[in-house]
Amino acid sequence: MFRILKKNIQVGNATASFEPHHSSASQGFLGAPEIEAAKCTGCGLCVKSCPTDALQVCDDQTKDERKLFLSYGDCIFCSLCEPICPHDAVSFLGKFELASESKEKLTLSFPFCLSECKKDPAFTSQASLPVKTLPTGSQSFSQGNFAPLLSMDEIGSRLKDKVKTLFGRSLHIREVDAGSCNGCELEITNLSNPIYDVERFGIHFVASPRHADMLLVTGPVTRQMELALVKTYAAVAAPKLVLACGSCAIGGGVFNGSYAVVGGVDRSIPVDVYLPGCPPRPEAILYGIFLALGTVASKK
């Protein structure tokens, strides 16, 4: 016991402290892809490299128009699109605050003149690219769908105020693994370690949905887990909040199309917030929780 106390005194406080507006991703964390519109020519090479069809192009010959779509909901942050781009238009700079209240807002679109795209030697016709149904009402890149980066302390303090206002002193979360690879679970577990320590913000993970205010669902919904997920959702007291955590929970991820998978979480239960990532980092999960809390007032 004394050895443990001595070691704790020597180590000191391990909880991360972030300066406002100076938070950054951990070393080696790629984050979400970012496309520099000024450099991109719409050639389509990145679309061919994407394993989950998160990148798509749509050509309109009559209007001489090509649109490049980037869906963060389908992206697994593999970075295969970065080295294949001949114009260095794709970069990974650790972007992680991507949570959104709708799938449509997770999709960025980049318009191009089709005749100009064809002048690029790397141009790839749409006929030779993967075909996938694109979400309607995709948001333009210039509209800025995502909030500016916030430090963890800023997110945490705002979240603590929201939790106190809406739920009293704490927010109880029931985590549900609907069939994931456990990558998201590792990041969720990290929220409770001494580095992130989410309990200081009034967030507690509980063992029963009857004690929960929110469901944090990971993984694609497998056919064996769908009934359990529906029953868990039914056991949560209103107002019910659901956060789909990770690319698999949004649309099935790399498991989409499997005979054993139903699809994303919203195929089985209503979802309030979609949180991209494969897996999302702890700060991103915390940001998603805060975004979900913004929907409680209207539900009440």
Query: Are residue 138 and residue 183 in the same domain, yes or no?
Result: no
Domain that holds residue 53: 32-143
- Rounded to an integer, the average pLDDT of 231-258 is 91
- Flag whether pLDDT at 18 surpasses 80: no
**pTM confidence score:** 0.80
Instruction: Tell me, yes or no, whether 14 lies in a domain.
Output: no
Instruction: Tell me, yes or no, whether 284 lies in a domain.
Output: yes
CATH number for position 60: 3.30.70.20
Q: Name the residue with higher pLDDT: 166 or 146.
A: 166
- Flag whether pLDDT at 292 surpasses 90: no
- Flag whether pLDDT at 163 surpasses 50: yes
CB of 241 within 8 A of CB of 295? yes
User: Under 8 Å CB-to-CB from 276, ≥6 apart: which residues?
Assistant: 32, 72, 73, 75, 98, 99, 106, 246, 247, 250
* 29-58 confidence digits (pLDDT tens): 788 899 998 899 999 999 988 988 899 999
Instruction: Tell me, yes or no, whether 130 lies in a domain.
Output: yes
CB of 97 within 8 A of CB of 285? no
